Structure 1
């Protein structure tokens, strides 16, 4: 986490330039980037989850740590969760990401079964 803080501090000037050209929507407890590309961490986690949950009808991975990869928010909707309690669904996601989780500070998981 210290490395994350140092990285954020050292790139503050360039980040402000990006923010001027790419506005950020801020809501209590949630930051949404208005950039069109994902971070490397978001891409990596998305690939792992797509491989593990091929029937997922919706998948969104967001780095909510400001881009340093310390914390992610995952929204995944899959029929593979059908018949499982929420805690079991989250355990499946945690198991799929066991290698990636080791380097994270936190993870928010939101799972859902498609309504059909």
Structure 2
């Protein structure tokens, strides 16, 4: 296995080469430097802050390289207490129902605060 990182403008390119029995699998993923948020990240974060005012942690990242096709959301809120993971994700999906229509994908990670 061989891994490397390089930058192209404000985008970090991570490359991982995995060698398996005379076969090379190449995996490359672009990461935008997080010094500024995209309009989509700001819009989604605003919606989630309004829907989950007790959220102790919220992170929204455009993982499509900045085009708004796919997002990853990490949210920790006491509002998820007593709910199964699927129910927590349904709440996030419901809050973003209008936004989701224009997306290709969405990764959701929810958590209940430890205390």
Instruction: Using structure 1 for the length normalisation, give the TM-score.
Output: 0.76
Q: Which has the higher contact order (CA 8 A, sep 6+)?
A: 1
Conserved? CA contact 1:70–1:104, under 8 Å: yes
Structure 1, unaligned runs of 5 or more:
1-17
Q: Distance in 1 between matches of 2:56 and 2:105?
A: 25
Q: Distance in 2 between matches of 1:73 and 1:25?
A: 18
Residues 97, 23 of structure 1: CA spacing in aligned structure 2 closer, same or farther, 3 A cutoff?
closer
- Give aligned pairs, total: 98
Correspondences of 1:58-97 after superposition (within 5 Å):
58-97=57-96
1:24 match: secondary structure: strand
Conserved? CA contact 2:32–2:66, under 8 Å: no
Larger helix percent: 1
Q: Distance in 1 between matches of 2:30 and 2:114?
A: 27
Larger radius of gyration: 2
Q: Distance in 2 between matches of 1:27 and 1:77?
A: 30
User: What's the counterpart of residue 98 of structure 1?
Assistant: 97
User: What's the counterpart of residue 12 of structure 2?
Assistant: 24
RMSD of Structure 2 on Structure 1 (CA): 2.0
